Amino acid sequence: MTTLVTGASGFVGRNLIQKLYAQRNVFGDIISVTRQNFVSPFVSKSYAIDLGFSQTDKPNFYDLKRVMKKHRPKTIFHLASKSTVKMEGDEIFEILQDNILSTQKVCEWSPKGAKVVLASSVIVYGDWIFEQGSSDFPGREARSCTEEDRTEPTSIYGMTKRASEGILRYHTSTGRIKGVSARMCATVGRGLTHGVIHDFIRKILNNPTLQALGSSPGSVKPYCHIDDLISALVLLGLSNKTGEYNIVPDDQISIEEVAKAVMTGLNNHKRIEWLGDSSNWQGDNKMISVSNKKIKDLGWKPKYNSKQTIIDIVSKLSENSI
């Protein structure tokens, strides 16, 4: 029995393979597929296969086919993808190749009966929940997105995730594989070396003010602790369920709240200098409010809310333990 993980060398992948190894009596040998050579004590066999695209190289899709045929994994976690909202020019073509075509090949070449867990994103919902309303925007009724709501992504990245979900759903409908899309939100924890929290820490420690994109209170989003995300992915990998699942904590917080939580963790308070709405990235969602009821009904119990997640990572960074 084997489990295959694409993108195993990334932030989520490294944490996932460690958890899978701890439960190797259930998941068996762990096989990794990464863009470059990857060595880990938690992996039985690692393959350097580039599922993406560059101007000089082509994806090594047929190498993936040979790995699938050789190991016949029972469970596949497809984490490999480009994950940025901000892009232009050739980057757009690359993300289409990386995210959509790689998902098609993973689904196409997975052994019959395999469980495929796709790393998707809550960004597929787009901004329609902002239009419909939230308590943060007076005069409109608040409601969080559920998996049954329509998806209207506002970025190329979000569109590739929606397309990947559709590909997985199609292959699942044929009965050949069992696919589930894990709609993840911003995730932080050990091993993460970039993102808004790291950016805020550097700015707070090195500048007289903290510059932030947008206008007060900034975008409102959920922030998931890496431990909670990994427990959800493992749960979905073991479940016989298919479809889409939101993996989010019980709350969401504004960028202003994120900044204040980081300042509190550092015991270093600075004035926030807002750069205005024109500084926001095109396609970035101003508000993400998503329900986690469906995954909770499977037995998932997040240990952290958004604020606790941020305080935890800041404290660990200050202790040099991440």
> Which of the two residues, 200 and 229, has the higher pLDDT score?
229
Who wins on pLDDT, 234 or 204?
234
**β-strand partners of 78:** 6, 118
CB burial of 252-286 (b: ≥16 within 10 Å; e: otherwise) equals bbbbbbbbbbbbebbeeebebebeeeeebeebbbb
Residue 225 pLDDT level (bands cut at 50, 70, 90) = very high
Amino acid identity of residue 208, one-letter, is: P
Q: Name the least confident of 60-64, 126-130, 147-151, 292-296.
A: 126-130
Least confident of 63-67, 99-103, 209-213, 241-245: 209-213
pLDDT given at position 251 = 92
* Tokens encoding 75: 């469970």
**pLDDT at residue 248 tops 60:** yes
pLDDT confidence of 321, banded at 50, 70, 90?
Answer: very low
Kindly write down the DSSP assignment for every residue of 274-292, as one continuous string. E-BGGGSPTT--SB--B--
Q: What confidence category does residue 45 fall into, taking pLDDT thresholds of 50, 70 and 90?
A: very high
pLDDT category of residue 56 using cuts at 50, 70 and 90: very low
Q: What was the pLDDT predicted at 129? A: 54
Q: Which of 65-69, 187-191, 247-251, 314-318 has the lowest mean pLDDT?
A: 314-318
Mean pLDDT over each residue of the chain, to the nearest integer = 87
Residue 282 has pLDDT above 90, yes or no: no
93-113: average pLDDT = 90
Domains, the chain, with CATH or none: 2-318 (3.40.50.720)
Q: What is the DSSP string of 174-204?
A: TTS-EEEEEEE-EEE-TT---SHHHHHHHHH
Spatial strand order of the sheet with 2-6 comes to 45-48, 29-34, 2-6, 75-78, 115-121, 178-184, 243-247
pLDDT value of residue 119? 98
Could you give the angle at the alpha carbon of 38 between the alpha carbons of 35 and 42, nearest 5°? 130
